[in-house]
Amino acid sequence: MKKFLIVIISIIFAFNLAYTQEEEIKKDKAVRLPFNSGILIDNQTCEIPTAKTLEMLIQHRFGKMDNGIKDIWGIYSPGANIRIGFNYSILDNLMIGYGLTGRKMQSDFQVKWNIVQQTRKNTIPVAVTLYGNMAIDGREKENEGIWGVNYKFSNRLSYFGQLIVGRKFTDWLSIQLTSSFTHYNLVDSISDHDKIGIGINGRARFSPQSSLIFQYDVPLKIKKISEHHEFINPSKPNFAIGLEISTSTHAFQIYITTADGILAQEIYMFNRNDWTKGFSNLMFGFTITRLWSF
């Protein structure tokens, strides 16, 4: 009988503790704007606009700087790439989106979900977000001669999933850590179908509207998921640093980066530019976001 009473009291105590914690979380509001935009250079952030908000993005990558003044350090280079996308917040913590990227004419369909948000009193100390997309290579079949006559629609597909853990440490500093998984249904003979990566990115605000931003993404060389005995010309880490200027409805980011791809799976799988080798592997880029509430 005593054991039974102890179990009953323990259950009641556990429920009471859980209820108290839930009430504390409800009273403790989410931190305000850990990031000014849902995207930071190439990476997603833990920020999702409030429900019924439409976000438009323009992401542009100029050509490499290796020709110097001849093409204004890549600004007038023919190697530019651009993506235009639209995201819609169904809920305060759930966003869906679509975008089209010029290189490979890739259409991407994406979803982002805030599992938990960091709170102001640290009841929840970090934000945890899941992001995923599916991209479709939209180039004409005739341009895919290297794949042969058995090229199918499923061969056009690639997938990307990412876990984002972020924290707003102060009003001026926010940092995120990421882990990701990339899969391509069809790759060339020296590439793997799968790639795991990790990364860090953040912003350091130095005025009410301006921040320094950075990212560093590392595709990992993992033998257990590799289909080859050695890594031939593997994807290189992506480093980027820049400046962000924001208002309540706009964010403008300009940066220097090593990645000529824009979609995350393209960067983790196929970035061949080494940022340690100077201007020949760097390029300018910018991102513009605009919000509309309905």
Token couple for 211: 């921040």
Residue type at 82 in one-letter notation? I
Secondary structure of 228-254 as H, E, C letters? CCCCCCCCCCEEEEEEEEECCCEEEEE
Give the residue carrying structure tokens 């799988």: 269
How does pLDDT run across 149-206, given as a tens digit for each residue? Answer: 577 888 899 999 999 999 999 999 999 999 999 999 988 777 888 999 999 999 999 9
Residues whose CB is less than 8 angstroms from the CB of residue 255 and which lie 6 or more positions away in sequence, other chains included: 41, 213, 240, 241, 242, 243, 284, 285, 286, 287
Q: What is the pLDDT of residues 39-62, one digit of tens each?
A: 999 899 999 999 999 999 999 999
Burial, 233: exposed, middle or buried (Cβ in 10 Å; 0-12, 13-18, 19+)?
A: exposed
CA separation for the pair 30, 26 (Å, rounded): 9
Q: How far is CA 201 from CA 34, 41, 283, in A?
A: 12, 9, 18
Closest CA to 235 of 176, 182, 161: 182
101 beta partners: 83, 106
Which residues in the chain come in under a pLDDT of 50? 1-21
At residue 2, φ and ψ (nearest 5 deg) are -65, -40
Give the pLDDT score at 229.
Answer: 66
